[in-house]
Amino acid sequence: EAHPPESVGYVAHLATIKVRDGAEISVRISHPTSGRLQEKGVTSPLPVLFVTHGGGCLQGTHLSEEAWLYWHLYEDFELVIVSVEYRLAPEHKFPVWIEDSWDVLETLLSSKKSVFSDLDVEMDIKKVLLAGSSSGAGISAVLSQMCRDKGILLSGIILNVPVVCDYRHFPAQHKSEGQISSYRQAVETFGSGAMVMVWNVTQPSELSGLDSKVSPLLGDLSNLPRHLVFVAGQDALRDEGVAYATKLRENGVEVELKVFSGVPHHFAQISELKATARFQKILRETLARWL
């Protein structure tokens, strides 16, 4: 790891959670050391950041989100960060990545004995935030809707360059001349062709894209927690991120939409960009308000 959490008084370890079909899913749990908490005089339970990584549901690991997310939170916040390494396509079929993520989240929120109840720090499960980038942000969006349906209150949702709608079912009112403008305009390597491939592999049946667990943009967006949505201007996913934030707002949800013009999909991992410094500042300031 380029920035080991130990260097700033955090500790990270791997554990497994058994999910509904008996599979063991890897989770990475990071939290401040007891020494750091004592030094800062923190005695209350810690908020939880529940992270689902990106990678198109085809690739990705616990470390996929580190560059844009963890590094910039370790120094300023006392959090328990839980990352889920859900199973991937094409070896596994939808909805396994949703179910794996949900089962881990449900275990975290429950009072039953698990790796979470054995931590050296106490979690405040009344302060749980969901976060993810790209396809992981799409999973976070789905989980937020599932939590709402089950009466589970969350403290906030952070969606970075989210995948929230199968391109074959993108609402017509957000298209230009029958096309998704950002798919047509994306100039980077990760453009519309890559997204079409991702959808064709993960959702070979076109009809499945109408399911809100595939395309959360098509779901009920009312009564959801506050959202922070980051969108990259040169990203094929730009229009769906904007559409999701717009629909949230139309449904009375508190949402901050931050659009970074002229930058590609993974801009937040490129430390040299001015946009990345602004992204990190917004992320930290928003979390400070929410927590």
Residue 195, pLDDT score: 77
Q: Which of the four pLDDT bands, split at 50, 70 and 90, describes residue 191? A: low
Query: Does this model's pTM top 0.85?
Result: yes
194: pLDDT strictly greater than 90: no
Count of domains for the chain:
1
Mean pLDDT lowest among 11-25, 140-154, 187-201, 267-281 = 187-201
Bigger pLDDT: 195 or 198? 198
Q: What is the CATH number of the domain that holds 64?
A: 3.40.50.1820
In one-letter notation, the amino acid at residue 261 is S
Domain interval for residue 141: 5-290
192: pLDDT strictly greater than 80: no
Upstream peptide bond of 216 is cis (omega within 30 degrees of 0): no
- 3-class secondary structure for 41-84? CCCCCEEEEEEECCCCCCCCCHHHHHHHHHHHHHCCCCCEEEEE
Distance between CA atoms of residues 239 and 166, nearest Å: 12
Mean pLDDT computed over 221-240: 95
Cβ neighbour number for residue 35 with a 10 Å cutoff: 10
Q: Which of the four pLDDT bands, split at 50, 70 and 90, describes residue 69? A: confident
Q: What is the percent of the chain where pLDDT is above 90?
A: 71
